[in-house]
């Protein structure tokens, strides 16, 4: 049973528009969430994170929103650029959980078209 | 450049072979991890080492044997693998695996094919 779900396997967006990647989770004990980006033939690269005490964290073109009541988080990329085309993974960790135990979603492949 | 390197990048082995995957981190971190990513599945944590001691083993078969000789190096020794073990094996490191906000940084992975 997946605790972190990314229900959209792929997303296509026009350059300059907003990309919104979604992630749902089931474990209410999760209190720290991360987004990773992965290009082909490379390992995942850390992008942005958010603690459960916040509902928004922003870093340049990337913003992560957390809705704890809905157990939902989203990553907004604006404006989207062709170089953003990659697979995006959502991950979560619970306080007091097993050390280092990040739970990952299956990923969403984002394609940004020029 | 993430500061975490893995060798080899690709490996093809038979079921009777013995091989090892190597990971090295240049970030001064204290914790290192092995993950497995199979097709159409999420990344799965296999092993965690903190200050060279194994602190997590997520029910991984004994045909996978990790070794952490120091905080900068991590190995995954492979023997008598099965075709279903074919996957991308990712190494990661972090500053301190005990903190919730600890961020893991990944290497490029080793693409393993078991024939």
The model's pLDDT over B45-79, given as tens digits with 9 standing for 90+, comes to 999 998 878 877 778 999 999 999 999 999 999 99
| Phi, psi of B53, rounded to the nearest 5 degrees | -110, 135
Structure tokens belonging to residue B12: 């093809």
Nearest to B45 among A32, A95, A102 (CB): A102
Residue B3: pLDDT band with limits 50, 70, 90: very high
Structure tokens belonging to residue B65: 């044997």
pLDDT for the residue A42: 87
The model's pLDDT over A22-54, given as tens digits with 9 standing for 90+, comes to 999 999 889 899 999 999 888 999 999 999 999
Residue A98: pLDDT band with limits 50, 70, 90: low
pLDDT for the residue A70: 96
Nearest to B103 among A34, A43, A95 (CB): A34
| Pairwise CA distance, residues A109 & B76, whole Å | 29
Do the Cβ atoms of B10 and B111 come closer than 8 Å? yes
| Pairwise CA distance, residues B10 & B46, whole Å | 19
Subunit contact B94:A100, Cβ cutoff 8 A: yes
pLDDT for the residue B114: 94
């Amino acid at each position: 049973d997946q605790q972190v779900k990314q229900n959209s396997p792929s997303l296509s967006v026009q350059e300059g528009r907003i990309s919104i990647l979604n992630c749902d989770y089931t474990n209410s004990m999760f209190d720290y969430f991360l987004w990773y980006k992965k290009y082909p033939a490379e390992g995942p690269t850390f992008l942005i994170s958010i603690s459960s005490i916040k509902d928004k964290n922003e870093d340049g073109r990337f913003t992560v929103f957390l809705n704890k009541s809905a157990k939902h988080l989203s990553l907004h990329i604006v404006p989207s650029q062709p170089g953003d085309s990659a697979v995006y993974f959502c991950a979560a960790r619970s306080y007091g959980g097993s050390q280092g135990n990040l739970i990952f979603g299956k990923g969403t492949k984002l394609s940004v078209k020029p | 450049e993430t500061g975490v390197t893995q060798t080899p990048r690709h490996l093809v082995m038979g079921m009777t072979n013995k091989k090892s995957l190597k990971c090295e981190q240049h970030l001064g971190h204290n914790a290192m991890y092995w993950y497995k990513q199979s097709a159409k599945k999420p990344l799965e944590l296999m092993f965690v080492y903190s200050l060279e001691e194994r602190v997590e083993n997520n029910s991984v078969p004994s045909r996978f044997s990790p070794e952490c000789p120091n905080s900068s190096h991590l190995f995954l020794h492979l023997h008598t693998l099965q075709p279903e073990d074919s996957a991308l094996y990712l190494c990661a490191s972090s500053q301190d695996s005990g903190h919730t906000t600890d961020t893991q940084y990944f290497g490029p992975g080793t693409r393993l094919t078991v024939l």
